[in-house]
Structure 1
Amino acid sequence: MELTLTLLGAVFGGAAGALVPRAAYRFAVDAAEPWRARCPRGHAIAGPWGGWVGFARCPSDARPEGGGACRYGPGRGVAPAVSALVCGLLAAVVGARPELAVLLVVTPFAVLLSAVDGAVHRLPDVVTLPLAAATVALLGAAALLPGHGGSWVTAVAGSLALAALYGTLFLVNPAGMGLGDVKLALSVGALLGWYGWPTLFLGTFAAFGAGALFGVALMVLRRAHRRTAMAFGPFMLAGALVGVVGAG
């Protein structure tokens, strides 16, 4: 049963992760620019939901003769693998509990946000805010089902507490913490808070610890200095994974 659940989680993660690169490519622009509507070769991106859903490649009839396949998107080979690995791990650790469905749904969006933040140091509001609302609502639904392993009350409290922490850091040092991180903290705090305050502390500590180690490594390799901007969203999400796995 556990192996089957793990495999199903990995399959879901891989399938959902395959859709990440197209959305990541469209979102990976500076704040003053509109979302991308064309591929790198100039082909219009079309498909379901205004072209946001689909694989990061153009149809065969849109490719220039002799030009080969037109594939695009940051991390297009990595995103499906990471999503599959994380979903499989979560399925193995959490097991057949109601909150597993919430974690599996959130994971591809977490991979998407990590890809965009890593590419342009931006966490789009059109993803972070609906994701926060959906995470809290879905955890609330999970709390109504038998066999759940957390608390919706602490999930809401954790969401607000972590957002308040990141909001304070933003006010103290806007150059070191972005508003996108504050909004992402709503989702991360809910997921960690679901399992209690120790899990929230663990996930938060893991995020800052990993970010600090990565920054030091970049400075040692002379690829950055103390004032170099760094995308922190991926570390927040990695910390959330550490906390959830630790709680499981």
Structure 2
Amino acid sequence: MNLPLVVSAAGFGALAGALLPGAVHRMAVEPEQPWRDVCPNGHALRGLLPKCGRCSAWYGPDARLAAAVTALVCGLLALASGARPETVVWLLLAPFAVLLAAVDLRVRRLPDVLTLPMAAGTAALLGVAALMPHGGGSWVRALLGAGALASFYFAMFLISPRGMGFGDVKLALTLGLVLGWYGWDTVLAGAFAGFLLGATAGLALIVLRRANRGTAIPFGPFMLAGALLGVLLAAS
């Protein structure tokens, strides 16, 4: 285990995660609504910290929880991937993945301003990683994985638009790149894990009588969690 790398990655995740609540507060709005630009008390937002400079009100999710989750994800990725060029890509993606999950949990929405640049940025960064020594995957296969996984989710969207949002299709581009980097088995494992986690959570909500069969639940967090599991297994 490369302890300095893991500790540094976790520290990076903690710092990045502490800044996420402000972005969640801005982006967790209903479709067609503009991003929030005021705190809960109506003061204009300024800066990156999730705290109003005028009334000192905190907004968004708990910064400590966001920091802890992002630190854990980054630490696990560094532990599994080690000192490889793609590890840098995973660490840069992690805060955006946590941000997407938090927004989706709040308003069942995956904003294009995050999903589309994530896909383009991941493709470009993995292309660079593929040119560097000691890379652990294939850039061409990553591109094919993105196309395959997004096509599968698009077919699911056409079959059941109420059960699968188009934001999930766009997110699948990034997840297909990440999983495809390691291989087709990883693509299948990550996708299956996402569906398994989503189905388990849905069943649990029904058993607890907090949802029924017709209740829509955000699927993005489960897609991201499944992809994380796939990467951790493949990288290690």
After TM superposition, the score normalised by the length of structure 2 is 0.98
How many angstroms apart in 2 are the aligned matches of 1:142 and 1:202?
23
Residue 171 of structure 2: which of 164, 169, 184 is its match?
184
TM-score (norm 1): 0.93
Distance 2:209 2:226 in 1: 25
Cα deviation digits, residues 118-173 of structure 1 (max 9, x gap) = 00000000110001000111001000000000000110000010000000000000
Task: Measure, in 1, the Cα distance between the counterparts of 2:61 and 2:219.
Answer: 17
- Find the residue that maps to 2:63 and give its secondary structure: coil
- 2:86 match: 99
Match of 2:6 in 1: 6
RMSD over aligned CA atoms reads: 0.9
- CA offsets per residue over residues 64-111 of structure 1, 9 Å max, x none? xxxxx3101034332111100010111111000000000000000000
Q: Distance in 2 between matches of 1:77 and 1:70?
A: 15
> How many residues align structurally?
235
Indicate if the aligned counterparts of 1:74 and 1:119 stay in contact, CA closer than 8 A.
no
**3-state DSSP of counterpart to 2:43:** coil
* Deviation sequence 1:41-71 (CA, Å, 0-9, x none): 1110123xxxxxx110012xx12xxxxx310
Q: Deviations over 1:12-38 (max 9, x none)?
A: 011111111111110000002110000
5+ residue gaps, structure 1, are 48-53, 64-68
Instruction: Report if aligned partners of 2:9, 2:75 keep a CA contact under 8 Å in 1.
Output: yes
Is the 2:46–2:52 Cα contact (8 Å) retained in structure 1?
Answer: no
Q: Which amino acid aligns with 1:185?
A: A
Aligned residue number for residue 145 of structure 1: 132
> Which residues of 2 match residues 98-247 of structure 1 at below 5 A?
98-247=85-234
